[in-house]
Each structure stands twice: as structure tokens, then as C-alpha cells.
Structure 1
Amino acid sequence: MDIIIDMNYTKQTVKSMLYGIQDDTVMVGQGKEKETVLRFAVRFPFWAVRRFLKLDMNGLCNQALDLELLMPGCNTEFEKLLYCRSLEELIACMETYLLGIFQPEGYNPNLYNSIEYLLRSKGRARVSDICGYSAVSQRQMERMFKQEVGISIKRTASLVRYQNVWREVILKEHFNVQEAVERYGYADQSHLLNEFKRFHGLWPSQARLEALESR
């Protein structure tokens, strides 16, 4: 999930957006701004947004929302970013803001236990195993994930598994599809390839080539 801030130096204004968790492919073209605009983004792990924003994440999947409407006054705070003279200053200023709105009471041990188990399994864990590990009923777990993350447990697991496959695709010199099928518990090669393309928009070989060419 992301907070994206557009800083318009020509108009001396800022605009901020909150992007919910994305489980669909989004292609963004190159902008043709006649004004001087800098885009600065903060990316959160999918389980962390609720530690900063008091929002029900249910329904925010694949949504882009005006952050000022959700958190009135935030753009006034972000105007300070216009006067930062380096990336380091931008990061430090944003960190100060985020620490100021951090909510220690937002910690949900059942959610974090479940996510820890899910990440450790690299997305292979079954819903029943996750619920058993956290001692939470499936109905309660589903409600918790929808509220805290924005999507179901099963969909979250699919995204975690895809992220692990993508890491192998981009980091390994030779990516073996069949080995990945066995390692991540896909039904077969077709299942892995089709799920990867649904999330990424490209086949693994195409995605790797594009990523390497854009370095």
C-alpha cells in the first residue's frame, strides 16, 4: 500500500493519494507535465498501514483515494516537503510526520501472528493452518483480514506466493518453473504461469527482461 505525494513546485501546492493493496495489474504511462512536479511515495507492508491510519481497509483494494479527504489537514503538513533540498531531507521530514501519527495501540497480535506464519510459509499456508496457528476461527480471521488488510486471507496468501516467485525470477540467473511449482505448492506449471501473469501483467520471462532493461 502506498501514500503518493505530488509536489508541484510551479504552483507551490501538494496533492496526496492513498493507494490500497493492489492485486491487479496497473500500467502507468510517462506524464507530460508542463509544470515542475516531483512525486514522492511511501510504501507500506500490507499489514502496517493501520498502525498509522485509522481506516477500515475493507473495500480499498485497487482503489486510489484522496488522502486529504481521509485525513483532513495532511496536505498542509506535506507542504513542508516543498522546502526540502534533498532526498535525505524529504525522507527525514516524512519519517517525522509518520512517527507523529503512529498508533501503538493499533497492534493486533492475532493479525501479526497470522501474517508471520503466512510469510514464513512463503504463501503456501492453508487458511485452516493459519487459523489453527493463531487460534482464531476462520470467520473471525476473514473479517480481520478484510478490515486490516483489505482482502481475504486466501488472496493475501496468493499475493505473498507471487511476490516470492517474482523475487526468484528477478534474482536467479536461471529460473526453473517446475522447481518453483513444487517449492510454492502450485498445482502445475500452467497454474503458476497464469497466476503470475494475472498479478504482473506479463509472463515471468517477459517481466524479467523488462526489469533488467529498465535498470
Structure 2
Amino acid sequence: MTHPYRPIHSPILQPELHRPWYRCREYTPSRRLESHVASFWTMDFQPVPEHQWHRIIPDGCVDIVVDLLSPSSRKAAYVVGLATQSEVLHFSEARSIFGIRIYSESARDILKFPLSAFMKHHVFLEEVWGLEGLYWVEEILTAKTTSDIIEIVEHKLCQMLNDSGMPTPSLVYQSMQYMYLYKGNLSVTNLADKVNFSERHIRRTFDREFGLSPKEMLGIVRFQSILQEFYRGDYSSLTDLALKYGYYDQSHFANTFTRYYGLPLKRLTKKG
């Protein structure tokens, strides 16, 4: 089943930053996984005198990141929790990374822990899956091509989903589906009405499962929905785009976008 939400990231929005020594690609998962995994992605960087950076933006997903150049399989793979603001990474050494971008409502099924366990720091995959995770990482590190890695990863993820004994609470899953349906343009009060739970109960559930509030998650989904329309060019002006998503105060819209992306939206477009 195709997922209704597909996050977008800065390498796609700012293709002018691509260089022969800095390459980012995304790969669509198989139909078996497309309702759980947003994408597989790679980032390769070769050292050059020119300054290079990589921008990370919030997307409502959790990532398993594998450092393909790591000398140690124990330190090669780790889980990155939900981001709530932009971050810029600066590179000076060669990098080759493979990533798995997992939808938040499916993460517990795969990782066996709530996302709140990964909010404050990166967690090595061995600490999550034990020796099983370590063997899996070793298999990835010895793969010859990206296609081989994807095949190894998909086999493992399907196995984890089939064996899952810790499904995501139905309230979280249902809430996320409404957030996707309304593209984040929904208040917590409206969300509570739709799922027939109190706002307090929803807040407590989101804090326990995700480590952030439903208001924050709504903001991230709305931000990503704005990026999708911006990327497609489906807007006449930034003012109209802001109004469509409930931003009636232009300064609020500008501040929110800058917090999530790290740059003003006008830096990415010629439309006013």
C-alpha cells in the first residue's frame, strides 16, 4: 500500500549544491515496504579544498544510518531519532553512508523500542538488535553494490515486520494517518475530536512513544507538505502558500520555516 506522505530533503530542493565529490541519492523501497519505509538514501563525499556541508531537516521519520567506511562494524550503524530543527553537517573526511528512512508510526515495529528512546542521542544498532544487528551490519559492509545493500536491507526489514511483537499503539497510528490526510494543517483539538481521545491523553501518548508533542509532529508534517508544493511549483506566491497552510501571520510562517529548514524560503525561490 502506497504511503500518503513522502518527505523531501535539501539535496532535492537545492540541486545546485551537487558536486562531483558530493552525491546524494534516494531509492524507493519495494511494494512490500513502501507503507513502512519512506526511502533508502545514500550520501557520498570525497575531500576537496572547497567547503562542503550537508543539511538535515525534520521529516517526521527515524533513520538507521550505516557508515560504509567504518573500520568497525560495531560502530558502523546507529539509529537517529526524530529531528525537530535543522542541522548542518560539515565534512572534511571521505564519507559513504547508506540510510533507511522509516515512518514514525512503523518504527516501533522495526526497532522494537518507542522512538522516545532515540531522541537525545544516536544509539548504535547493536544496542537495539544485539548480535543479530551486528551480523546484519557486517553483511551490509561486505556488499559490493548499492543494489546488493538494498536487497539485504529489505530482506531484514520484512523479517522484522513479520516477527514484530511490539506494534505501534493504535492511537498513534490513527493520529498519524489524520496528520498525513490533512497535511499537518490541523489543530491538536481537531485531532482529538477525530480520534475520540482527550488532548491530554494524546499528548501523553505522543510524549511516551515519540518523545515530542502532537503539535510538534503536526508542525513537521505541515512543513514537509509545504516543501512538496514548493518543489512541484503548485503555488502562485509564498503568501498564498502560507495562507493555504494556515499561516495568517507572515512573520510566524517565516520563523517556522527558518527553524525547520535553516534558511528563509525566499532563498530557495524566485517567486515572491
TM-score normalised per structure 2: 0.69
Hey, what does 2:91 align to over in structure 1?
Answer: 30
Hey, what does 1:66 align to over in structure 2?
Answer: 124
Q: Give the SS at the match of 1:5.
A: strand
Within 5 A, what are the aligned runs for 1:92-171?
92-102=151-161, 103=164, 106-171=167-232
Can you give the 5+ residue segments of structure 2 that lack an aligned partner in the other structure?
Answer: 1-61
1:90 is displaced (CA, Å) by: 0.7
Hey, what does 1:213 align to over in structure 2?
Answer: none
RMSD: 2.2
How many residues align? The count is: 205
Hey, what does 1:199 align to over in structure 2?
Answer: 260
Hey, what does 2:14 align to over in structure 1?
Answer: none
Q: 1:160 to 1:51 in 2, by over 3 A?
A: same
TM-score normalised per structure 1: 0.85
Tell me, in whole angstroms, the C-alpha distance in 1 between the residues paired with 2:266 and 2:177.
30
Spell out, residue by residue over 1:151-193, the C-alpha distance to the aligned partner (whole angstroms, 9 max, x if none): 1000000111111111222221766111112210013111111
Q: 1:175 to 1:64 in 2, by over 3 A?
A: farther
Residue 204 of structure 1 aligns with an amino acid whose one-letter code is L
Tell me, in whole angstroms, the C-alpha distance in 2 between the residues paired with 1:44 and 1:125.
23
Report % sequence identity. Answer: 22
Spell out, residue by residue over 1:87-121, the C-alpha distance to the aligned partner (whole angstroms, 9 max, x if none): 11110101111122222650432222211111111
Q: 1:59 to 1:177 in 2, by over 3 A?
A: farther
Q: 1:130 to 1:51 in 2, by over 3 A?
A: same
Residue 223 of structure 2 aligns with an amino acid whose one-letter code is Y
Hey, what does 2:56 align to over in structure 1?
Answer: none
| Preserved CA contact (<8 Å) 2:109 2:165 | yes
Structure with higher helix content:
1
1:60 is displaced (CA, Å) by: 3.2
Residue 114 of structure 1 aligns with an amino acid whose one-letter code is S
Q: Does 1:8 align with 2:69?
A: yes
| Preserved CA contact (<8 Å) 1:47 1:148 | no
Can you give the 5+ residue segments of structure 1 that lack an aligned partner in the other structure?
Answer: 210-215
Tell me, in whole angstroms, the C-alpha distance in 2 between the residues paired with 1:32 and 1:185.
43
Tell me, in whole angstroms, the C-alpha distance in 2 between the residues paired with 1:66 and 1:172.
39
Structure with higher strand content:
2
